[in-house]
Amino acid sequence: MALRLTGRLLSTTWQCFSKHHAAAPSISLVQYCTCGSDDKAISRSPVPDKSTLPQDMQDTMAEVEEKSGFLPNVFKALAHRPEEFRAFFKYYDALMAKETGNLTKADREMIVVATSATNNCMYCVVSHGALLRIYSKKPHLADQVATNWHVADLDARQKAILEFATAVGASETITEEHFQKLEPHGLDREDAWDIGAIAALFALSNRMAHLTNMRANDEFYLMGRIPREKKAAT
């Protein structure tokens, strides 16, 4: 059930994207393959045929693919290890799809992009940069955060979040001072846990992407870059 939240998240994102671009392709046109559009492998590890996977994984991937219009390559790459696939996406949903705490969806994606940029992870910067553009409604923000979040168009609260997140992501020693810097921005110890846990999960994800040489789907590159045109008042 938790994995279905990932499908809903991607579905919402694709719906936002498709409002500005061509409609998402129907499921019958979506091809499941081990290569990108330029025939380069999406992972250096074996990518199993979807029909050979356990039924729960097939159902999850089919739901994401049908609702989103494409299947993110992370699903294909991690399918090489079914138990790890399940564990990763269950924890992902627990952190990224939760509705409690003081972090917005844009905050969470911002943490992922900053952490992944620090770790030179192209896959996560590209894919979660797309989500950050969608949720922040700021088409330039993800590129700024990925390049140098210290000078990005962020407010003091956002910079405090990223200071904490990148310290965790870099495995620095976390002190009371780190927590205290969050408090003036209305972020408590539970929020700090969320910030740190997201950074920690994606520090893992970044390293798995490096290990597998995972490549981002072409669809991610354009998502959220063109703001939706406002309808003229009548």
Neighbours of 207 (CB within 10 A): 12
* Alpha-carbon torsion (165, 168, 169, 170), positive or negative: positive
Q: How far apart are the first and last CA of the chain?
A: 44
Domain spanning 2-97, CATH architecture:
Up-down Bundle (1.20)
Give the list of residues 6+ apart from residue 203 with CB closer than 8 angstroms, or none. Answer: 115, 119, 168, 169, 171
| Mean pLDDT across 106-122 | 98
- Are 231 and 136 spatial neighbours (Cβ–Cβ below 8 Å)? no
The closest alpha carbon to 111, from 65, 148, 145, belongs to 145
Residue 159 has pLDDT above 90, yes or no: yes
Mean pLDDT of 175-182: 98
CA Rg value for the chain: 18
More confident residue, 167 or 31: 167
Q: What is the pLDDT of residue 31?
A: 40
Placement of tokens 């330029």 in the chain: 38
In the prediction, which pLDDT does 37 show?
Answer: 52
Q: Which residues pair with 41 in a beta bridge?
A: 35
| 31 Cβ contact partners less than 8 Å away, ≥ 6 residues apart | none
pLDDT at 24: 37
- Going by the DSSP 8-state scheme, the letter that residue 30 receives in this structure is P
Same fold: 2-97 with 105-212: no
Mean pLDDT within 91-101? 95
Name, in order, each residue with C-beta under 8 angstroms of 47's C-beta and a sequence gap of 6 or more. Answer: 34, 41, 76, 77, 79, 80
Closest CA to 99 of 15, 186, 194: 194
- CA 230 – CA 104 distance, rounded (Å): 24
Any idea where the domains of the chain sit in the sequence?
2-97, 105-212
Give residue 229's pLDDT band: very low, low, confident or very high (50, 70, 90): low
Whether residue 8 is predicted with pLDDT greater than 90 in this model: the reply is: no
**Is it the case that residue 93 has pLDDT exceeding 90?**
yes
Q: Which of 57-66, 79-88, 183-192 has the lowest mean pLDDT?
A: 57-66
- 41 three-class SS: strand
User: What CATH class does 105-212 carry?
Assistant: mainly alpha
Q: pLDDT, tens digit, for every residue of 65-81?
A: 998 889 999 999 999 99
pLDDT tens, position by position, 189-217 = 999 999 999 999 999 999 999 999 999 99
**pLDDT of 113:** 98
**Residue bearing the bigger pLDDT, 186 or 32:** 186
- Residue 205's nearest CA partner among 77, 45, 67, 107 is 77
